[in-house]
Amino acid sequence: MQILCKLYKIKDMEDGEVLRILEEKGLPVTRQRLAILKKILEMGCHFTARDLHIALDESAKAVDLATVYRTLKAFEEAGLVTCVAEMGNCRYYSGTHAGVIPHAHFCCKGCGRLFCLPPLEVTASREIRSLEKMGFEVHQLVVTIEGLCAQCRRREEGK
Ligand SMILES: [Zn+2]
Ligand SMILES: [Zn+2]
Q: What is the pLDDT of residues 25-55, one digit of tens each?
A: 999 999 999 999 988 888 877 889 999 999 9
Domain ranges of the chain: 3-158
Is the pLDDT confidence value at 7 over 50? Answer: no
**How much distance in Å is there from the Cα of 91 to the middle of ligand 1?**
17
Please give the distance, rounded to the nearest whole angstrom, from the Cα atom of residue 152 to the centre of ligand 1.
Answer: 4
Residues 6+ apart with CB under 8 A from 62: 56
Q: Indicate yes or no: pTM above 0.85.
A: no
- What CATH topology corresponds to 3-158? Arc Repressor Mutant, subunit A (1.10.10)
Around ion ligand 1, residues with a beta carbon closer than 5 Å are 108, 110-111, 149, 152
Place 12 in a pLDDT band, splitting at 50, 70 and 90. low
| Spacing, Cα 61 to ligand 2 middle (Å) | 25
Average pLDDT, the chain: 83
- Binding site for Zn(2+), by residue number, is 108, 111, 149, 152
Nearest C-alpha neighbor of 57 from the set 67, 44, 46: 67
Tell me if residue 106 falls in helix, strand or coil: strand
Report the separation in Å between the CA atom of 115 and the middle of ligand 1, taken as the mean of its atom positions.
10
pLDDT in tens, 49-98: 999 999 998 887 788 999 999 999 999 999 889 888 887 778 889 887 66
